[in-house]
A and B are shown apart, each in its own frame.
Chain A
Amino acid sequence: MIYVKDRKIVVPGELVATGNFRVYSGAEKEGKNIYSTVVGIVYTDPEKKSIKIVPLKGKYVPRIGDSVIGMVEELALKKAIVDINSPYKGILDVRDASMNRNAEINRLFSVGDIVYAKVMSVSDSVVLYAKPPYGKLREGRIITIPSTKIPRVIGKKGSMISLIKKYTECRIYVGQNGTIWIKGKSEKEDLAIKAIEIINSESHLSGLTDKIMRLLEEKVI
């Protein structure tokens, strides 16, 4: 029995459903009852008997395999400390940063550089990896949105992001931590940023891909 309509906003403590459901995120079970734990949008699937609540806000918690974009905050002897917009700092070792075995960290990076990296481990500290195709991002523009909305920016199997890339002809890297790097022609960058801002503010509405498609088509001609 589901008490909340699909795509409705719930707040912590709200009874979402009773019975045998699979809970993916944003909710907890107490006996048969399933209660929401965040302010978020409910996605229910009565056929698969699954419930997912996507938070509208929240800090990024690193997970193994995520691609993130961060800023070099500090250089140590053989590693760089990277701010990845999360409660935890990313550690990037020289050996994981360059194909050159004799590379030195202060030749590779300086404080303030933007790095596109992969999360390798989260057990002790957040270990990053930045060998190609990852690495330093030069020039371009950066915008930050809540990390919970990144899946909407990417879309199903990357449909949304490839749409934006196609129309704006920009190079775009999306970090799971909510940071997005864009590089292209100035006015095309503006268009891409506008599209992402719309996705951010209307992430809980359906038909978003069509809306973004219309926006991009109008501006592109």
Chain B
Amino acid sequence: MELIKDGIRIDGRKKDELREIKIKAGVLKRADGSAYVEWGMNKVYAAVYGPRELYPRFLRRYDKAILQCRYNMASFSVEERKRPGPDRRSVEISKVTRSALEPVVLTENFPESVINVNIEIVQAEAGTRCAGITAASVALADAGIPMRDLLPACAAGKVGGEIVLDLCKEEDNFGESDLPIAMVPRTGGITLLQMDGLMTEEEIEEALNLAKKGCKIIYEKQKEALKQKYRGNNND
């Protein structure tokens, strides 16, 4: 199978083109903040609760709130039924999501408390961790939690010997390499950086730059989603 031919990819995109992305803020009424992201065929909900009292007490930090992230894939989110509950993969993604979000959330404003971030993958098609982080940061902002910046996330990778942006399912499964990142747009700092597969140093550099460009596009959509929520009753 040829994954890329004359610069056109298997799903018809160009090398530096993202899948279609839709972001909506404030979709769940019970949560303090929430967001819904449709990214290609990915469908992701993020719900934020808190800051609230933390139990057990020994987890409390006297100087800041702690973040608790939970990434979960619905059993029907993939073609073959996924066994429900946490597994190695989702525990790992929960952990990297937390470490990606921690530097942007101003946790020192709410000492001794906890902020819960729940990410639910309803439908999956490669790149769910990026979609999850993108949704989670919009949900955090929607909850009114002070943040240094929104946190867009996006992947780049190597497919058929070429560096491409935002891998789809076939490219993820049969491509050479995948490199998801999360970037703080204000400073250009990177809070998530993972890679599987193999790439040379130059290729990583190229993929990183491409993924950063993708993050900037997603950042604009995140801003738009948050502003859209209040546009209805705003007079401009």
Residues of chain A whose beta carbon lies under 8 Å from any beta carbon of chain B: 8-9, 11-14, 26, 28, 30, 35, 37-39, 55-59, 61, 87-89, 146, 148, 201-202, 204-205
Partner of B113, one of A14, A39, A87, A201: A87
Does the CB pair A58–B113 fall under 8 Å?
A: no
Contacts of B186 in A (CB 8 A): 13, 30, 35
Q: Which of A28, A61, A148, A201 contacts B233 (CB 8 A)?
A: A201
The 4 closest A-B pairs by CB, nearest first: A58-B144, A13-B149, A57-B144, A87-B113
List CB contacts (< 8 Å) of B174-197 with chain A.
Answer: 184-186
In angstroms, Cα B184 to Cα A14, docked, is 12
Chain A residue with Cβ nearest B33? A57
Residue B106 is within 8 A (CB to CB) of chain A in the complex: yes
Residues of B within 8 A of A (CB): 32-33, 50-53, 65, 104, 106, 109-110, 112-113, 141-150, 184-186, 222-223, 226-227, 230, 233-236
Whether the pair B144, A37 counts as a contact (CB closer than 8 A) is: no
| Contacting pair B146 A38 (CB below 8 A) | yes
The docked-state distance in angstroms from the alpha carbon of A22 to that of B150 is: 24
In whole angstroms, what is the CA distance A30 to B146 when docked?
A: 15
Q: A39-B226, A57-B143, A87-B110 are in contact. Are A12 and B50 (CB under 8 A)?
A: no
CA distance A61 to B108 in the complex (A): 12
Indicate whether A26 sits within 8 Å of B113 (C-beta atoms), given known contacts A202-B233, A204-B234.
Answer: no
Chain A's nearest CB lies how many Å from the CB of B37? 16
